[in-house]
Amino acid sequence: MTGPMLERERERVAAAARRLAADGLVTGTAGNVSERSGELVAVTPTGARLDAITTADVAVVDLAGEQQDGELAATSELGLHLGIYARYGAGAVVHTHPPFGTALACVIDELPVIHYQMLALGGAVRVARYATFGTLELAELTLAALEGRSAALMANHGAIAYGPELDVAMRQSELLEWACELYWRAAAVGMPRTLDAAQQLAFVEAVTRRGYGVKRRSDP
């Protein structure tokens, strides 16, 4: 007798959801997480508190959105997750309602590059125009905002990030909220300075030239 489908992925998705709640990036039932494995996706269910989600709560759907396993229905934002998998070849998606990111998404149209670490997100973070949650319109607006980026803000709603695997998507979500808080704090003092295209390119070239983060090979 076979066990539950995508058991390891479901376990990781549940753990990620609880961690997001513990870190204050989601509250109550707001937010969702998914991880893809081949033609299947493990995804948090609709209407469940993320701070208490268990492995058994996580749903499994195919890339057409048809549920394949799990007693609870998938999140209402399933279409957005599946759209990111289809268009950007992601391995995991994280949708949050973080305090600073959501607040800025109520005010600005784009989060400029105020720190070089934002280049890990692809550059300035766009804010997708508002649409009702769970709709095709919201999914399309958000997918457009993600063009050339791995994260976006969603006007009067929250934030979205993706990566090749769940750990990376989680780090991108955390980086985005850090950048939003940085902008918020800087704007409280004055107009934040931004890095222009030449400065951004110089940073990328410096990282490449210096092999930043690459371990030196030891001699045999």
Provide the annotated active-site residues.
77
Tokens of 212: 């930043």
Please count the CA atoms within 13 angstroms of the CA of 68 that sit on its side-chain side: 16
Give the DSSP H or E segment for 59: strand 59-62
Distances (CA, A) of 202 to 124, 188, 205, 209, 213: 16, 28, 5, 10, 17
Among 183, 135, 188, residue whose Cα is nearest residue 157: 135
What are the residue ranges of helices labelled H in 97-219?
A: 99-105, 136-145, 166-189, 197-210
Contact by Cβ (8 Å): 50, 25: no
165 CB contacts (<8 Å, ≥6 apart)? 35, 91, 92
Among 153, 147, 150, residue whose Cα is nearest residue 130: 153
